[in-house]
């Protein structure tokens, strides 16, 4: 339902993967490749390294671009098509650039009952970002509406990069979290 419109206008249609935004780099670092090879050795089948390798590629590239997927396929030695399929199936692989601080706001039922919809609007207002429209111009913030973060008991719940913050019922708490991000108290995205 919510698939974005393909941007190409030429007579030669692009393959689905090629419609994805491109990243600046296209090679994994040797350390990352070594890390992927270590993971491959742990499992009976090297294919099992696909998900962990994509997490590593996301950390290196900032988001899972087409070249990140290609680099993963090359590092593991599996068909590119398999990696495209996996990367586009899972929502935690960002297929477009995100901000330095990526806000995942849960708006599912338990959080919604305690004001998640209003919280999401507040986050968008404070950061000046609309979900799905990329990061703010300064590259600082991005916002995503996500499904249950398993913080239902102290909802509404948001996740900033990889840290979870619960019970953000009042605006003050949100401002505190954002201030802490600006001070650099939390780890930026992809580190």
Partner 1 sequence: MAAMRTKPDPHIYTFPGFGSETFPNLMLRGAGDLNNWHLKVYEQQHEGYVAMKAALKMAPVAVTDEVKASGIRGRGGAGFPAGLKWSFMPKDTPERKVTRYLVCNGDEGEPGTFKDRVILEYNPHQLIEGMIIGGWAMQCAMGYIYIRGEFLWLIEKLEAAIQQARDAGYLGKNILGTGWDYDLLVYRGAGAYICGEETALLNSLEGRRGEPRVKPPFPAAKGAFGQPTTVNNVETLAAVPPIMRMGGAEYAKIGTPKNTGTRIFGVSGHVKRPGVYELPLGTPMDFVVNDLAGGSSTGKKIKAIIPGGASAPMFDEKDFDCPLDFDTVKARGSMAGSGGLIVMDEDTCMVQATLRLIRFYAHESCGQCTPCREGCNWMEMILYRIEHGEGRMADLDLLASLTPRISMRTLCPLGDAACGPMDSALQKFRHEFEHHITHKTCYTTGSRLLSKMGAH
CB of 90 to partner 1, least distance (A): 4
Q: Which residues pair with 101 in a beta bridge?
A: 141
Residue choice 21, 77, 162, 188 for contact with partner 1 (CB under 8 A): 162
Which of 77, 15, 23 has the alpha carbon at shortest distance from 50?
Answer: 77
Q: Among the candidate windows 3-11, 12-20, 28-36, 46-54, which touches partner 1 by CB under 8 A?
A: 46-54
Question: What does the alpha-carbon distance between residue 6 and residue 145 come to, in Å, rounded to a whole number?
Answer: 22
Sequence-distant (≥ 6) Cβ neighbours of residue 31 within 8 angstroms: none
Q: Measured from the CB atom, is 8 or 125 closer to partner 1?
A: 125
What is each CA distance from 50 to 7, 20, 68, 82, in whole angstroms? Answer: 28, 19, 12, 9
The 8-class DSSP code of residue 161 comes to T
Which segment (20-28, 30-38, 126-134, 174-182) binds partner 1 by CB under 8 A? 126-134
Report, in Å, the least distance between residue 53 CB and partner 1.
8
To the nearest whole angstrom, how small is the minimum distance from the Cβ of residue 163 to partner 1? 7
> Does the protein bind partner 1 through residue 107 (CB under 8 A)?
yes
Applying CB under 8 A, the span of 4-12, 21-29, 115-123, 173-181 interacting with partner 1 comes to 115-123
Q: Does 155 help bind partner 1 (rule: CB under 8 A)?
A: yes
Residue/partner pairs of 87-90 with CB below 8 Å, 24 or more apart: 87/54, 88/16, 90/51, 90/54
Q: How far is the CB of 71 from partner 1 (least distance, A)?
A: 16
């Amino acid at each position: 339902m919510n698939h974005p419109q393909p941007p190409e206008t030429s007579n030669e249609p692009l393959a689905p993967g090629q419609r994805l935004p491109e990243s600046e780099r296209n090679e994994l670092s040797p350390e990352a490749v070594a890390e992927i090879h270590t993971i491959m050795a742990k499992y009976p089948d090297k294919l099992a390294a696909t998900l962990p390798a994509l997490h590593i590629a996301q950390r290196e590239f900032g988001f899972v671009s087409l070249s990140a997927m290609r680099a993963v396929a090359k590092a593991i030695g599996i068909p590119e098509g398999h990696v495209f399929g996996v990367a586009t199936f899972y929502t935690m692989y960002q297929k477009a650039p995100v901000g330095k601080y990526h806000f995942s706001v849960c708006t599912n039922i338990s959080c919604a009952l305690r004001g998640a919809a209003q919280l999401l609007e507040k986050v968008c207002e404070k950061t000046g970002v609309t979900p799905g429209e990329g990061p703010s111009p300064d590259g600082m913030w991005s916002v995503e509406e996500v499904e249950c973060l398993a913080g239902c008991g102290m909802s509404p719940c948001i996740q900033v990069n990889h840290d979870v913050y619960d019970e953000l019922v009042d605006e003050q708490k949100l401002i505190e979290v954002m201030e802490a991000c600006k001070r650099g108290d939390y780890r930026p995205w992809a580190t």
